[in-house]
Structure 1
Amino acid sequence: MSKEVKSESVSLCPLGTAAAPEQEPLCIFGTGDFGRSLGQRLLQSGYKVVYGSRRPHSCGPLPQGAQVMSHAAAAQSASVVILCIHREHYDFLETLAPQLKGKVLVDVSNNLKKNVYPEANAEYLHKLIPGAHVVKALNTLSAWVLQNGPSDASRQVYLCGNNVVAKQTVAEMATKLGFTVLDRGSLTAARELEDFPLQLFPEWRLPLRLAISLSAFFFIYVVITDVVYAYVKNGKDISFRIMVSLANKVFPIVSLIMLSLCYLPGVIAAFLQLYRGTKYRRFPDWLDRWMLCRKQLGLIALGFASLHVLYTLIIPIRYYVRFRLAANTISQIKENRTSEFDTDVAWRSDSYLSMGILGFGFYVVLGITSLPSVSNALSWREFSFIQSKLGYVTLFFCTFHTYLYGWNRFLFPSSYKWYTPSAYMLCLVVPSVVIVLKLLLLLPCVDHRLVRIRQGWERTDPEEDSNKSLLK
């Protein structure tokens, strides 16, 4: 009888009017910039948010729609507690151990320096509240990213923890916020995740060191061959040229070498594949690291090229240049002579400037297309065409620009001060080698074999050998 009444009572309810279970809120400890930004983003994503604060009635403005209460009450109302507080304020959590038992604690903290504490913050939190499920996550994000939404450079977030269910809960929350989650394993990886935001341009270290080393070497080289040589041999003090003239020699030299170093590893990799006869063997570690920093090498090269352009533009307003022009004009007037127009020099000068302008223009195109917002709008074929084919064209124009600058100076003994070649001659070595090797790879017989290897063919492919034997 009771079953019949029960079924009848259910049938009398209108369809769709059954009360949905109320969504459980997410709890945030901390009302600072990060806590407020995270709460605002969670509310926009459809979550209910409750804040835990020491001063619930005077904790400052919070996102509209969020509740605020004491730490104990907030922790009691939610199964996920996000700790947006610094490690030095974790001590009060011990008093909340009963309320936090069985809860998912998301640790988003970072330190100001590496190795400040003997263990990671998340590991310390796990010791402090052993009954909770600690997950390290969201610590690689900033308040600005949370407010403005994930961009291409900050879309990926990392997490780690010992409890699979707890990590899955946090991963679903991060995915709903618009981030891509990468699980780094157990809580022992927390130290690595906490050190990650403290890294200073890790992908730029090798290119920057290389740029600084090249700049220092060539600057010292040109100071010796230009300033010191002129003072020792002729007793002239031309040290004033260090600030502009010598700097404007170093910038294009470093730029051209850095640009050629962007394409040299690809050429080396191609010849390595031809030598091995397969694409399935790993490249050496040094070559892998080199290829991974090609974008940074190219952007630094563009920076040096831009400095070269700016320094070149100020040449007409330099005191030294204006003085030389005025002195030459006065000398010609006194001697009643006029310099004849040299068509060959005019051709060489215009060609030199034209190659430089075209090279810098392509340089800028390469730099713009390397931006994530631009590269994401290009297909892979378009991106490859610009960065590869157009890149080699840029390298050719810039190298040709340097050859036109030197012209036939290498034939004159005066160019070899103290029996050393000019700096521009040294900078032509690497780009010339890259261009020659690339031309060899473009030979039809070589290119055909390389394309086959990159499509999966191997020199010792048994299926290929059997087909050849059948044809015989």
Structure 2
Amino acid sequence: MSEEVKPDSVLLCSVNTATVPRHELLCIFGTGDLGRSLGQRLLQCGYKVVYGSRRPGGCGPLPQGTQAMNHEAAAQHAHLIFICVHREHYDFLEPLAPQLKGKVLVDVSNNLKKNMYTDSNAEYLQRLIPGAHVVKAFNTLSAWALQNGPADANRQVYLCGNNAEAKQAVTETATKLGFSILDRGSLSAARELEDFPLQLFPGWRLPIRLTIGLTASFFFYLLLREVIYSYIVQQKDMSFRIMVSLANKVFPIVSLILLSLCYLPGIIAAFLQLYRGTKYKRFPDWLDRWMLCRKQLGLLALAFASLHVLYTLILSFRYYVRYRLAAHTISQIRENKTSPFDTTIAWRTDTYYSMGILGFGFYLLLGISSLPSVSNALSWREFSFIQSKLGYITLFFCTFHTYLYGWDRFLYPSTYKWFSPPGYMLSLVVPTVVLVLKLLLLLPCVDRSLTRIRQGWERTDPEEESTKSLLR
């Protein structure tokens, strides 16, 4: 055993620290899940690891090849120390200030909620140990992510600190672990980094609220038309249709509208650039936020389209459908009637199903291409082609599918129960507007002007041009 190992330490495996370079021997304060996962990952990447613990002999199972000792002894063995303990337990570090002077302390802690303290954990640690160099890093990674490596988790590690050399040491360690580094500047950015793990779908709030609003609105609208109207006017109890029939009308309606809302902001932005004659003016804040959440809107639209497909597949197994089919067949037999084959209806239904299948197939392609692992493997032109060109084709197929569903129903007065249009007609408003506006943008004269503007050309105001001429 090396002479450097203290008598109050526990040796889990022979570690000759005298022969290990300082930068390859790392220390971890804390033997919890995160500390053990981090130590295991460091061992796999060729580092030697020592643990600092309050109870070196009773800290539980640690990765094979590591050494556990008290905090004071562990701090003397490494220049870079990971602080894997919660803020409320930082008090034990203050007596260790002489041993920690000049060392790099990597704070990986997080809080249970935002604004628990007036300052960040890393800034508090820096005040507690002023002679050390505190770097905030690795706090956005879970124990699972560290244990399984960057192949199954986010490859990005955020860090911040006041000392450039300390940040460089942490950067080299993170890079060797297989992660990429994003430097957020000085230690004052630590509060922002500590808030990252506490965020709950920040980019999904607006899309989810919009989806819930649309779903609830169309559900109650169709409930009024399909169930309440039948009960009051026709004296029929159609409440059983709520679970499947009503849901299978709400899902495609919401899905089509959400898909349209993915492409409507891009069209508005294009007309805004044409109106302004330049691309260098900022879009309004509401349009900017709308464009930033298009991916989330598309994924929610895909989820509702998938539910529509699943609900459609079970229609033939429903008791109500089988009962109506059997009653219709028996009625024809009793009356000795035969329904003639209608080629028009056959073409309509086959085209209706084909458009639905093609639309959902392209839907899936759009969803798959939005995955980070797939989009990172695509060039910008490939990604743009799938999301833009194929996206509009998807919208066209789904819109045409809905038009074929309605067919000529809009001509019959019985369709407008309580003078209200059916749900499918309302769902066609936004996608039809989007497709018509897109066709206008594809006109050669319009497309040519828009392309020039997006390449940097600016339309000059006549008054401004005359002023420039006079100044010359």
Q: TM-score, normalised by structure 1?
A: 0.90
1: CA distance between counterparts of 2:355 and 2:393? 11
Return 168-177 or 22-31, whichever deviates more: 168-177
Deviations 1:208-258 (A, max 9, x none): 111111000000000011111111111111011010000000000000001
Return 220-229 or 21-30, whichever deviates more: 21-30
Question: Structure 1 residue 325: deviation in Å?
Answer: 1.0
Structure 2 stretches of 5 or more lacking a match?
1-17
Match of 2:315 in 1: 315
The answer to whether the Cα contact below 8 Å between 1:23 and 1:48 also exists between their aligned partners in 2 is no
Match of 2:238 in 1: 238
Match of 1:187 in 2: 187
2: CA distance between counterparts of 1:409 and 1:136? 64
1: CA distance between counterparts of 2:192 and 2:373? 29
Deviations 1:299-332 (A, max 9, x none): 1111100100110111111111111111111111
Where does 1:360-371 land on structure 2 (aligned, <5 Å)?
Answer: 360-371=360-371
2: CA distance between counterparts of 1:21 and 1:364? 53
- CA root-mean-square deviation: 2.2
Match of 1:59 in 2: 59
Match of 2:403 in 1: 403
Match of 2:283 in 1: 283
Match of 2:352 in 1: 352
Match of 1:214 in 2: 214
The answer to whether the Cα contact below 8 Å between 1:152 and 1:372 also exists between their aligned partners in 2 is no
Match of 1:305 in 2: 305
Are 1:449 and 2:461 matched, yes or no? no
2: CA distance between counterparts of 1:105 and 1:346? 73
Match of 2:121 in 1: 121
- Secondary structure, in 3 states, of the residue corresponding to 1:91? helix
- Secondary structure, in 3 states, of the residue corresponding to 2:109? coil
Question: Structure 1 residue 70: deviation in Å?
Answer: 1.4
Return 413-422 or 310-319, whichever deviates more: 413-422
Are 1:22 and 2:24 matched, yes or no? no
Are 1:143 and 2:136 matched, yes or no? no
* Residue identity matched to 2:166: A
- Secondary structure, in 3 states, of the residue corresponding to 2:446? helix
- Secondary structure, in 3 states, of the residue corresponding to 1:81? strand
Match of 2:95 in 1: 95
Return 243-252 or 89-98, whichever deviates more: 89-98
Are 1:224 and 2:224 matched, yes or no? yes
The answer to whether the Cα contact below 8 Å between 2:145 and 2:152 also exists between their aligned partners in 1 is no
2: CA distance between counterparts of 1:119 and 1:458? 47
Return 360-369 or 55-64, whichever deviates more: 55-64
Match of 2:80 in 1: 80
1: CA distance between counterparts of 2:459 and 2:143? 54
Match of 2:426 in 1: 426
1: CA distance between counterparts of 2:396 and 2:129? 63
Deviations 1:153-196 (A, max 9, x none): 61222122233332333233223322222222333322221111
* Residue identity matched to 2:436: V
2: CA distance between counterparts of 1:373 and 1:267? 28
The answer to whether the Cα contact below 8 Å between 2:53 and 2:59 also exists between their aligned partners in 1 is yes
Question: Structure 1 residue 21: deviation in Å?
Answer: 8.6
Return 75-84 or 399-408, whichever deviates more: 75-84
2: CA distance between counterparts of 1:84 and 1:461? 61
2: CA distance between counterparts of 1:107 and 1:436? 55
Match of 1:37 in 2: 37
2: CA distance between counterparts of 1:111 and 1:461? 55
2: CA distance between counterparts of 1:273 and 1:149? 45
Match of 2:9 in 1: none
* Residue identity matched to 2:193: L
Residues matched between the structures, number: 447
1: CA distance between counterparts of 2:156 and 2:277? 37
2: CA distance between counterparts of 1:448 and 1:133? 57
Question: Structure 1 residue 453: deviation in Å?
Answer: 1.5
- Secondary structure, in 3 states, of the residue corresponding to 2:68? strand
2: CA distance between counterparts of 1:421 and 1:454? 41
The answer to whether the Cα contact below 8 Å between 2:22 and 2:79 also exists between their aligned partners in 1 is no
* Residue identity matched to 2:21: E
* Residue identity matched to 1:38: L
2: CA distance between counterparts of 1:224 and 1:294? 31
2: CA distance between counterparts of 1:399 and 1:444? 25
Structure 1 stretches of 5 or more lacking a match?
1-18
* Residue identity matched to 2:305: A
2: CA distance between counterparts of 1:21 and 1:76? 14
Return 416-425 or 89-98, whichever deviates more: 89-98
